[in-house]
Amino acid sequence: MSDADARRAPHEDTSPRPVVGILGAGKVGTVLARLLLAAGYRVLIAGSGAPSKIALIVDVLAPGAVATTADEVARASSVVILALPLGKYRSIPAALLDGKLVIDAMNYWWEVDGHRADLDDPRVSTSELVQAFLPGSRVVKAFNHMGYHDLDQGPRPSGAHDRKAIGIAGDDVGSLATVAAFVDTVGFDPVPVGTLHDSIVLQPGSPLFGANLPAAELRDAVAAFPATDRGRAVAAAR
Ligand SMILES: NC(=O)c1ccc[n+]([C@@H]2O[C@H](COP(=O)([O-])OP(=O)(O)OC[C@H]3O[C@@H](n4cnc5c(N)ncnc54)[C@H](OP(=O)(O)O)[C@@H]3O)[C@@H](O)[C@H]2O)c1
């Protein structure tokens, strides 16, 4: 046994953490980069253009993350987080994400995305649209409902009395479990809310949007959704 092995606690996880890529180096992308670095992941991050355009902001807001191109993020990461304006989802390098786990943190925001009937259709969640655009990827919704300040200040160790929860949704059970573990590692309690179709409960317009709640309260809010105005409108449209 080496000295390093001898010093290591028996329960310590020594397996290499995956490389996590982030598409979008704005408010939420840089916060997620910081959280992931703190959790021990390697992080690649890209904006819409050349890495030099985001190098300074990445150095200041997420030191240790590597600024690169969107193509390189997609190619070199085993998990890719979408943190760009939803209205630009068709600019994501879809083919390079084939076979990958993709976490959709995006929301429709008309002030940013313009008025888009396709992104505001209660019959279909926006993550279903993203999944349809990325047919070779396994898309899971996560990290979209909490504001970036709350995300930044939220991480707590597992079991902490004031730990907050992140709602997650997906169609692939294994990917959902992977993302649940990922959310927990970053410092939040994962709360599965159903399939990608069900993820409309986490979108703007739902009372859950903006939620910065502990797991039990988040679950209560999910259960109460059908009786809300938005829940009734979604059910009627579907
Ligand atoms: N703000 C929040 O509190 C919050 C919380 C949860 C989720 N979200 C969601 O997260 C997404 C980003 O929000 P934000 O507030 O972080 O926006 P933001 O500050 O405006 O940042 C958007 C980033 O996306 C980049 N981008 C645009 N097209 C891209 C592409 N094709 N590939 C890679 N990067 C691209 C932009 O790069 P350029 O500057 O080069 O265009 C910019 O770095 C939105 O969908 C939002 O709804 C936001």
Report whether residue 209 contacts ligand 1, using a CB cutoff of 6 Å: no
Pocket test for ligand 1, best of 22, 27, 88 (most atoms within 8 A of CB): 27
Report whether residue 106 contacts ligand 1, using a CB cutoff of 6 Å: yes
**Ligand 1 atom 41: the closest Cα is on which residue?**
48
Q: What is the pLDDT of residues 9-53, one digit of tens each?
A: 444 445 567 899 999 999 999 999 999 999 999 999 999 999 999
Query: 93: domain CATH number?
Result: 3.40.50.720
Kindly list the strands in the beta sheet with 165-170, ordered across the sheet, starting from the edge strand earlier in the chain: 66-67, 42-46, 19-23, 79-82, 101-104, 138-141, 165-170, 189-194
pLDDT at residue 16 in the model: 66
Task: Domain of residue 114: give its range.
Answer: 3-237
Count: domains in the chain:
1
| SS (HEC) of 118-170 | HHCCCCCCHHHHHHHHCCCCEEEECCCCCCHHHHHHCCCCCCCCCCCEEEEEE
Residue 84 Cα: closest atom of ligand 1: 24
Residue 88 Cα: closest atom of ligand 1: 28
Report whether residue 86 contacts ligand 1, using a CB cutoff of 6 Å: yes
pLDDT at residue 45 in the model: 98
pLDDT at residue 18 in the model: 83
54 CA → ligand 1 middle, Å: 12
Q: What is the pLDDT of residues 165-186, one digit of tens each?
A: 999 999 999 999 999 999 999 9
pLDDT at residue 58 in the model: 98
**Ligand 1 atom 48: the closest Cα is on which residue?**
28
Structure token pair of residue 97: 């994400």
* Parts of the chain with a pLDDT under 50: 1-13
Report whether residue 24 contacts ligand 1, using a CB cutoff of 6 Å: yes
pLDDT at residue 133 in the model: 98
